[in-house]
Amino acid sequence: MNNIQDHEIDYKIVGSELQYVEVELDPNEVVIAESGSFMYMREGIEMQTIFGDGSRQAQNSGVLGNLLNAGKRLLTGESLFMTAYTNVGNKKSQVAFASPYPGKIIPLDLNQFGGKIICQKDAFLCAAKGVEVGIEFQRKLGTGLFGGEGFIMQKLIGDGMAFMHAGGHVEEFQLQPGQVLKVDTGCIVGFTQGVNYDIQRIKGIRNMVFGGEGIFYAVLSGTGTVWLQTLPISRLAARIFSYAPQQGGSKEEGSILGGLGQLIGDDR
């Protein structure tokens, strides 16, 4: 937990299915964001590429520490660099960031969640300066191998505002002591540090072979908050790929008509 408070930022989320978040910065306030999420900025905002996440921990760890922290980001599939947006003017100004695919943006006041959120590898969108964007290792071998997210997830640490994005609709669950939630591994967006994450094999050979839901699902227990998404990007990508043109012809809706069209088209 940071002893010095992260930058306080105001925001508004715009849109329904293809959302963006507009962050309002007071003079000298800073917001950090992943590369590629920038949408627009108003007068007085300046952008600067930084090494790592710009948090106080990164600033105090020296050159070698910065290299290690930035290198860890590669393990989550993110860039070595992030972008800092600073209000250098003398009045309030705004900068906006957009979701990379259809879904929802989830605002998180980290101070209300014990200062830490664990999320899927590509969930982070932007945050107030001072928020640490790190990695969280799965401690159990089975969870890392079969848990959908691998051994590495992201963690957001601090006491400021951070924003996650997810695919489709997002539902928030409050787990109470003794409650268990069994979830498709890809549907997990994030959870608080009081939630335990494990995996369990689906029972029954028929379910495993013909169920179409994979062999394992995630088991969430403990006490805390869980965010689930209805459309993981991997599921969306797989569905789009199934309708993509095939080599040597095109795949059209309606298998019979599509097949006849391909036969007619191949007639020399």
Residue pLDDT, tens place only, 189-242: 999 999 998 877 765 444 444 344 456 788 899 999 999 999 988 777 877 888
Structure pTM? Answer: 0.77
119-132 tens-digit pLDDT: 988 899 999 999 99
Shortest CA distance to 142 belongs to which of 190, 186, 197, 199? 199
Q: Quickly name the fold that domain 10-242 has.
A: Double-stranded beta-helix (3.60.160)
Q: Edge-to-edge strands of the sheet including 45-51?
A: 45-51, 81-87, 30-33, 124-128, 161-167, 103-109
pLDDT recorded at residue 77:
55
Instruction: Give 259's contacts (C-beta < 8 A, 6+ positions apart).
Output: none
Percentage of the chain beyond pLDDT 90 is 45
Q: Which residues pair with 83 in a beta bridge?
A: 33, 49
Please determine, for residue 31, whether its predicted confidence score (pLDDT) is greater than 70.
yes
The domain segmentation of the chain, as residue ranges, is: 10-242
pLDDT recorded at residue 112:
94
